[in-house]
Structure 1
Amino acid sequence: MRTFLLYIFTFCTLVGLGAPAFAEHPDNSADVKYVPDVVFTLRTDIADGKLVYISEAGPTKGQVNPEMRVAEGAVVQINILNGDGALHDFAIPEFDVKSDQIGGKGSATAVVFRANKSGTFEYLCTLPGHKAAGMFGKLIVGDPQETTASNFPDLSKNPSEVGEPVGKREAKEVTFDLETTEVEGRLSDGASYKFWTFNNTVPGPMMRVRVGDTVNINMKNSIESAHIHSIDLHAVTGPGGGAAVTQAAPGHTKSFSFKAMAPGLYVYHCATPMVAQHITNGMYGMILVEPEGGLSPVDREYYVMQGELYTAQRHGSSGLQEFSLDKLLDERPEHMMFNGSMDALSATHTMESDVGETVRIFFGVGGPNLVSSFHVIGEIFDRVYDQASLTSPPLTDVQTTLVPPGGATMVEFDTEYPGKYILVDHALSRAEKGLVGILTVNGDADAEIFETEEAVDHASGH
């Protein structure tokens, strides 16, 4: 072991690296080989507006966030060189690997560990916001069965699907047909989850009605479901919000009608025991009850909901992620997401606005447990309809707004300067678990609003 350590420290001295970080793992102890079987060198840098790792040598040379492939059981050394001057680190959580932080252009560090299990594992920079800005990739150990996004249907909800505004129409009868399903869907590249849904999306469809409407709900539970499902709409005045009459066995349909009595933006969810499990698995959505005369017109409207997944596997694991009751009861989610997947609002779906337009976001928290501190980095909410009350005067000039689980808000703001604006829960550790969205504002810059000659730091979302 001393020989091995001497070799590594001598190597690091020659290439200008600091002391390597060793993974704390039983197989990374006295039985490691004297010489690493494989060595990778990654440089931190900015490419195409994103923070990335770039391979410096070997068959992956020049690749951005390269897939690093090693044999199972190999001793792996990864050298990290700082090429952009910002503070970074490097980690592979599944192997308990984490480097020292390196700050300043030209600084370096290294990690050494034994790849003692086969599979596909995520590597990333753990500094807040850096994964969201692009600093992550895959370590592939052995020859695991490939699990890519194409293997699973995309169940994430398009935020542009907000329903038809009611305008100035009179009250009328409206019918919504919902189907509850249980389907394995894409969570992230290489990872899936057995979601429970309304109409095969997470969240379910945004229903949009007018105060005074008579609303008919027909809820069919798919014959392929393994569980009873129901629906509780917070907009309903009646037994269980509808849940008391919609406990539907697989293959059965339950129906009821209600009058939309109060304007507002309301969450709906499954309310079959255990309720928290049904919600975390994806069974939530929102219904908007517009006031008489409708909402004021805006240029863009988006539908965004925050959710949590409690899995036995750690965040970043590949393959099917399995539900963990213990983590649910302890309120320790491994994954957090906007609109049903880790990158639904950062890669899968596009949210855009032009300079001079007004954006309205219908935002809700499916939960089932955590309060959200909703914030858009680089923007100020011109109007916040607190607790989604559409009949109270809105708050103005708000930076961050609290939304409880099972609650909602409606925010509006003018987009006045081009750039990428990141949607987050300002409990920012959650961004590292997938809770990130991007609103892209297009148009010409106005130097009176913002001006700089400095390079843009994409990790900050501007």
Structure 2
Amino acid sequence: MLTRRAAMMGAAGIAALPVLAKAAKAEEIMDTSMAAPADLSSLKRIKRKLVRPPMVHEHEQEAPAEPRIVEFEMQIVEKEIEVDDGAYLQAMTFNGSVPGPMMVVHEGDYVELTLYNSPENLLQHNIDFHSATGALGGGSLTLINPGEKTTLRFKATRPGTFVYHCAPGGPMIPWHVVSGMSGCIMVLPRGGLTDHKGDPVRYDRVFYIGENDFYIPKDENGDYKRFEDVAESYPDTLEVMNGLIPSHVVFNGKVGSLTGDNALHAAQGEKILFVHSQANRDTRPHLIGGHGDLVWERGKFNNTPQRDLETWFIAGGSAGAALYEFLQPGVYAYVNHNLIEAVNLGATAHVVVEGDWNNDLMEQVQAPVEYNAAYEGKTALP
């Protein structure tokens, strides 16, 4: 149903009302009230407090003997964010961040999420977990109006990294996704990760990189438009979206979100698990100066990881994982290796690694000096 608040939107928003009204179905709400309730009373409950990406909440790498019900709470927030200097997006977010926070559970656990749609919001929202089974990934059971909340529980039956996103139905689905409403859940095997030989693998920390393509309209002068609210932005944004050419391709919500003062930090010898999601477009991560020691390219831990990859592929609508042990200090650039998107549109992160340089791995044999071009270097010519 169209909310009262949406019905009172301004003139620009009114142009979007017919589309909003059609979309407010979550592709038909399912009635599961006749199904027998699951008796999980014997299971232990734990609460996890979500944290802002690229960090990930506290979790065990190996699960206890018995499955648990893992409780999360998440708030949907519509708000304006600055994607780049002078470029503002009327964003839709899970927990106020783009991407939404990463959740971690173990295979066999139950995920129990209470989802809140803030009263200040204009639109209906829901959540579709690619890791869940049934009911459009939970989308048809979680559609809520502003000022409403709902609780969904599902069993995490498949280990891996998976995307979640908003999917309220029809043309609302791509709009909500490219406005920031996506995130990631990692379902670890109960015994933890294993390598290509089946031996246990541990990581020192997780960095969660959520990649987004944004479609911010421009005016007749070529300047980015700015809108009063998310509904007003819809008609112009839809036109840009349908052209399939993003104005920005960024990590974690904005240009420079993970560079400079916001760079990631690690220590020499640390093993970092990079989890990378893209809910809409294909991408190909690359760590300049490093590698993927072990890569679950499609993010599924039942599959044997690939080894020693220079660049790996993340299909649109999926999340992948790559483990790397940093052997040298320095600043590493983690990029989408479509270098146009990395350098010109924003898809770059930096990892600053502290430690002692190892000349056996790389050494500058001679610092740059001038040479006599008339005599030297001739053998380098074709």
TM bin (shorter chain): 0.7 to 0.9
- Deviation string, structure 1 residues 15-36 (Cα, Å, up to 9, x no partner): xxxxxxxxxxxxxxxxxxxxxx
Residue in 1 aligned with 2:273? 360
Indicate if the aligned counterparts of 2:88 and 2:216 stay in contact, CA closer than 8 A.
no
Residue in 2 aligned with 1:347? 260
- Deviation string, structure 1 residues 135-156 (Cα, Å, up to 9, x no partner): xxxxxxxxxxxxxxxxxxxxx9
The 5-angstrom pairing of residues 265-344 of structure 1 reads 265-273=161-169, 274-295=172-193, 296-313=201-218, 320=226, 324-344=237-257
Identify which of 328, 343, 360 aligns with 1:448. 360
Residue in 2 aligned with 1:44? none
- Give the partner amino acid of 1:397: D
Question: Deviation at 1:255?
Answer: 2.0
Larger Rg: 1
Q: Percent identity?
A: 31
Task: Identify if the C-alpha distance between structure 1 residues 166 and 376 changes in structure 2 by more than 3 Å, giving closer, same or farther.
Answer: closer
Identify which of 406, 409, 427 aligns with 2:338. 427
Residue in 1 aligned with 2:310? 399
Residue in 1 aligned with 2:379? none
Distance 1:269 1:399 in 2: 29
Question: Deviation at 1:254?
Answer: 2.0
Most deviating of 383-392 and 156-165: 156-165
Residue in 1 aligned with 2:17? none
Question: Deviation at 1:406?
Answer: 1.0
Indicate if the aligned counterparts of 2:329 and 2:354 stay in contact, CA closer than 8 A.
yes
1:160 matched to 2:65: no
Question: Deviation at 1:299?
Answer: 2.1
- Give the partner amino acid of 1:289: V
Higher strand share: 1
SS at match of 2:312: strand
Indicate if the aligned counterparts of 1:162 and 1:301 stay in contact, CA closer than 8 A.
no
Identify which of 243, 252, 257 aligns with 2:148. 252
Indicate if the aligned counterparts of 2:265 and 2:353 stay in contact, CA closer than 8 A.
yes
Task: Identify if the C-alpha distance between structure 1 residues 365 and 454 changes in structure 2 by more than 3 Å, giving closer, same or farther.
Answer: farther
Distance 1:365 1:384 in 2: 16
Task: Identify if the C-alpha distance between structure 1 residues 162 and 339 changes in structure 2 by more than 3 Å, giving closer, same or farther.
Answer: farther
- Give the partner amino acid of 1:304: I
- List alignment gaps of at least 5 residues for structure 1: 1-155, 456-462
Q: TM-score by structure 2 length? A: 0.74
Question: Deviation at 1:360?
Answer: 1.1
Task: Identify if the C-alpha distance between structure 1 residues 417 and 345 changes in structure 2 by more than 3 Å, giving closer, same or farther.
Answer: same
Identify which of 124, 129, 142 aligns with 1:228. 124
Distance 2:123 2:99 in 1: 19
The 5-angstrom pairing of residues 190-269 of structure 1 reads 190-269=86-165
- List alignment gaps of at least 5 residues for structure 2: 1-50, 194-200, 228-232, 369-382
Spell out structure 1 runs of 4+ moving beyond 4 A: 316-319
Indicate if the aligned counterparts of 1:365 and 1:407 stay in contact, CA closer than 8 A.
yes
- Give the partner amino acid of 1:320: R
- Give the partner amino acid of 1:232: D
Question: Deviation at 1:334?
Answer: 0.3
Asked which structure has the greater RCO (Cα within 8 Å, sep 6+), the reply is 2
Q: CA RMSD in A?
A: 2.0
- Give the partner amino acid of 1:425: N
Task: Identify if the C-alpha distance between structure 1 residues 161 and 168 changes in structure 2 by more than 3 Å, giving closer, same or farther.
Answer: closer
SS at match of 1:440: strand
SS at match of 1:242: helix
Q: TM-score by structure 1 length? A: 0.61
